[in-house]
Amino acid sequence: MEMKMTINIKYILFVLNNTVLRPFVLLMMALMLTGCGGNGQLPSAPIVNLTNRTFVSSNGAGALSVIDNLSNMVVSTIKVGTGPQGVAVNAATHRVYVTNSGSNTLSVIDTNSNVVIATVGVGGGPRGIAVNPSTNRAYVADSSSNMLSIVDTGSNSVIATISVGGTGPQDVALNSATGRIYVANGTSNNISVIDTTNNAVIALVAVGLGPQGVALHPAANRAYVANNNSNSLSVIDISNNTLIATITVGTNPQAVAVDPGANRAYVVNGGSNTLTVINTTANSVVTTIHVGTAPQGVAVNPAAHRVYVTNSDSDTLSVIDTGTNTVVATVAMGAGVGPRGVAVIP
């Protein structure tokens, strides 16, 4: 006799978002697939999508918050190290990486279970991080030791450290096509360009004062650097590593993210509580959007036409529609958590 059943999708979504219950419900669903009508198929039920997640490091709480992008709600909180800062994702391996500046570690989280599966010791004061899925490498900017730690994401171990040639490294961007790493050095006011084939610094590019964030537009051969102390965005031609433009933005820019398909860069300004939208073709400001208090991090989801901004002092996440350049949601992260880094799995 064919088995008939009614599946409450809202209940399944609730359970799948629960870190403790998720493994049990996934097991039950797998067993159901082997016994429904003998054909291994559930009777016409929608597929639950475990993507569409935003990951935010909560500096004051020592945790990583997981936000469901469909409901704009926090669905899980994962304890990591002390003073978490940078966040990077590898969607292919279902991993999230969080740098912990207070404990000098890198937390590795399995996004299927929302559990920390490894803690890797890195250099002093780790902040920015970039991941290369094709080479199974993560690159961590160690701000107080002026080093770049290279982590093998297969074994979750540090396999090399590189002196960046500057001081106070804050952020890292990767061009996987060329194998080049770009490091923003906050106290030496330059960008280190590193060749990952031999782990050598091949150029130092002078930018504005106090560079905090760096992001790439690989197709256009451009790097964008947020300069905290000069209230500007530096534009670098990465084909020859030269500074080609400087754009005035808001006060104390902290981070930058790029949407290559739309030719837009988004700069969060921690001192003016705004997000500056840049046309990367014209190197001009399109508009300025007011967000929460003391914004620190920014990430783009091009497929959903959304930008996510962490607001450290208001303990919120601003969600911006890139089509209208308006804030369409504000996610409460919890009192005193101090959200910093942010990354998205579309």
The C-alpha atoms of residue 344 and residue 346 are separated, in whole angstroms, by: 6
Residue 215's pLDDT is 98
Residues of the chain with pLDDT under 50: 1-11, 13-15, 19-20, 23-27, 29-49
Residue 294's pLDDT is 98
Residue 283's pLDDT is 98
Nearest to 238 by CA among 217, 256, 221, 263: 221
Chain position carrying tokens 């990583």: 64
Residue 17's pLDDT is 53
Domains of the chain: 1-48 (no CATH), 54-345 (2.130.10.10)
Could you give the C-alpha distances from 79 to 94, 167, 297, in angstroms and in order?
18, 30, 19
Residue 346's pLDDT is 85
In angstroms, how far is the first alpha carbon of the chain from the final one?
Answer: 40
Residue 51's pLDDT is 78
DSSP for residue 7: -
Predicted structure pTM score = 0.86
Tell how far CA 112 is from the center of its chain: 18
